Structure 1
């Protein structure tokens, strides 16, 4: 007796190599003797003609592409709106397969389209998660803009600390503790050089600087200490009306502007997401504030789309990998093939959580250090383990819709005490 295999519907396979001005398209359809190659200009008219052509084939269509900057987003959104099934292929998979297929490292668009089509036929694809369709586009723009502002603020801060302050007022750096303390920037706008302080009496200086530094504990003693510091400064003597001081003030003003813009973006993110339940639940976790919660939602989207926490860990690049060949077995370490911004967000949250008391993340960190408290490598591994645990917990509380509990491991779900066995890293 022969078994009749169910017939699969014929499918049109489309591979698109994305570029800035035009896209290379390779199509394989049922009944065609050979593949069809197209050049698709990056215009709305050509998109419409291409979609009509695919609709006219009267078969289900599977489209695959490799994410390339942001150039793929308009075309992918248009094709998805037209009802086509889109799939994504990782850049690393494309590069390795290209080398295997063509025995060469060279890269050109026609070859990439062939590689994409081959990977589509073999099933090595990923689900395409459109940010606009899944309503996380605004989150991403807020998060990316905040990241760019923070990066520029850090660069400007380094210019101040490595160029301007060593030249004009080296001793004032001891009062610069955090970028959130903007009083020193405002103070340097008024007194950029120690000569401007030294020419005043202590009483006059304290009176003029009193409102500049804002609300401070022991403000009188602080200003008197700064005055005495200025008396013995080694800063180079430049005139107040010189171009050097003018440029110093320009950079100080830019630093103040960036700090204020960063604060505005934080307030805007909190206002935009105040009704988001996932945003609120993520902030219940120690170490995760509004910006890290925004970053997690912007980069991962809806965490419920990951069926298991291992899938989410792999998406973050927090999964473990081991190099092994024959009798050789390398050290197990992070793969780091996932989303770098997500991995950084959980790492930063872990560094804060382990300094707070009464949470299971600190317990895990301390258990890791018991074996060798003085080992810097062991400490780094502990931070990684805590970051991975934070990712698992974040996925769990959002997927199950439950609030965060500091010591969930202390009791089993049934209410009985958990077994005292060793905890998994």
Structure 2
């Protein structure tokens, strides 16, 4: 936040201070700016860095209070920061840097948006976001269908139509179609309210597609049950973990599984130097790493009835007592959880039998 005089004058006039982005603190800041106007005879300008949606209500607040607001592009302040030899980032230095960028350049005032324009912009962006999610979901759905029922797409032009989804819900695999009677398939098609000939043609097409499909449907039958026996690992998390790991026999040891998840420490050596403070590699499956992290947090969380997983909780507290930061302790506990998962999947024994 800077005022429209000179950068040196600003620093001499008032030391940098922080405030929360709440109505009360912002109102107090307006009072300070009003006092500054009385002392100098000039209306201060509010200068800030753009921070997406976070800065929009603050900009509107000061505009409504009658102040000229200038919003700087972060690229402009970043260019100023690169001029510094030392890499330093503090709130006072950032405020001074924003002031320097403002005074050394010509900037136009941020114009207030009309309410209906802001609302229309928000709705358009929301629509675009939902549409992107919808398209991505369709693509993922198509990729799964290519494995389970490869020829299904030849029967329905629109895979996400109500009729196509209803058929898949009732007959998700080629074997399900081939095991059903013609009447069962036709009854499933009837809500489409088409002609009798259409029902017959679609049924013939589905049977033909089922016969010509070569599905890939290797399932992990009992793994979900034993994995869900771990306190803190819910059904959705267990499903994600199994989907990412696949056949546990692919991994000769738990060490390889930990590396696959990217939770193993990275190695940094150069000559005789060997770093002892290394971050995790993050070279493996991000989906598996996220699922393991979530299960770990769920397991060690201290609830009213106690933590879900005492083994993980005890291990986590031991790391904390060793002086590890909380996040480092969670990562170490995630590593232990993954080793437990390896033992459970390899032995096909539930969690209670391994304790």
TM-score normalised by length of structure 1: 0.44
Q: How does 1:79-228 map to 2 (within 5 A)?
A: 79-100=62-83, 102-104=84-86, 106-131=88-113, 133-162=114-143, 164-175=144-155, 177-178=157-158, 181-201=161-181, 203-213=182-192, 218=198, 220-228=200-208
Aligned to 1:77: 60
- Structure 1 distance, partners of 2:105, 2:88, is 24
Cα 1:13–1:36 shift into 2, 3 Å: farther
CA positional deviation for 1:169: 1.2
Give the counterpart of 1:60 among 43, 46, 63: 43
- Structure 2 distance, partners of 1:73, 1:14, is 24
- Structure 2 distance, partners of 1:126, 1:214, is 61
- Structure 2 distance, partners of 1:157, 1:234, is 21
Name structure 1 gaps, 5 residues minimum: 1-10, 16-25, 248-425
Name structure 2 gaps, 5 residues minimum: 225-234, 237-355
CA positional deviation for 1:53: 1.0
Aligned to 2:23: 44
SS in 1 for 2:4: strand
User: Pairwise CA RMSD of aligned residues?
Assistant: 3.8
CA positional deviation for 1:109: 2.9
CA positional deviation for 1:115: 1.9
Q: Which has the higher contact order (CA 8 A, sep 6+)?
A: 2
Aligned to 2:273: none
CA positional deviation for 1:236: 5.0
- Structure 1 distance, partners of 2:140, 2:60, is 41
Contact 1:89–1:126 (Cα < 8 Å) also in 2? no
SS in 2 for 1:63: strand
SS in 2 for 1:160: helix
Aligned to 1:233: 213
SS in 1 for 2:213: coil
Cα 1:213–1:170 shift into 2, 3 Å: farther
* Number of matched pairs: 220
Cα 1:242–1:204 shift into 2, 3 Å: farther
Cα 1:69–1:237 shift into 2, 3 Å: closer
Give the counterpart of 2:4 among 6, 13, 32: 13
- Structure 1 distance, partners of 2:4, 2:15, is 11
Larger mean Cα displacement after TM superposition, 152-161 or 212-221: 212-221
Alpha-carbon displacement from aligned partner over 1:345-385 (angstroms, at most 9, x marks no partner): xxxxxxxxxxxxxxxxxxxxxxxxxxxxxxxxxxxxxxxxx
